């Protein structure tokens, strides 16, 4: 299961990560977020130690959503070396999400 990220662990787990991080900005009430959740779980299992897969609940962490200009969810962001490499808004297939991440490995 992807790690839950919040304001307290964001810097350590995302910005200081030695591997690329795929972040899923989501909320429990978001239908498309629920649709892609199984794909996110599978990507985490398949990617192994090459990258991290994390989730940020925007209802519980509105400051992170605001800081990263998240206006619509699901929003998937790849962060590498503290920099935002790519953002994908909206539901996507597992293959699309995996290729989004693999570009930055």
Assess whether 54 carries a catalytic annotation.
no
Taking each helix axis from N to C terminus, what angle separates 94-102 and 31-47, rounded to the nearest 10 degrees?
Answer: 50
Catalytically annotated residue among 30, 64, 65, 78: 30
Helices (H), 1-105: 7-10, 31-47, 62-67, 94-102
Catalytically annotated residue among 33, 70, 77, 91: 33
Assess whether 30 carries a catalytic annotation.
yes
Catalytic residues: 30, 33
């Amino acid at each position: 299961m992807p790690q839950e990220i919040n304001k307290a662990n964001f810097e350590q787990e995302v910005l200081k990560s030695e591997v690329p991080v795929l972040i899923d900005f989501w909320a429990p009430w978001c239908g498309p977020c629920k649709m892609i959740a199984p794909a996110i779980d599978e990507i985490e299992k398949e990617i192994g130690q090459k990258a991290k897969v994390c989730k940020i609940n925007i209802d519980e962490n509105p400051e992170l959503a605001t800081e990263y200009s998240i206006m619509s969810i699901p929003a998937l962001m790849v962060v590498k070396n503290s920099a935002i490499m790519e953002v994908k808004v909206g539901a996507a297939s597992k293959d699309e999400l995996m290729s989004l991440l693999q570009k930055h490995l």
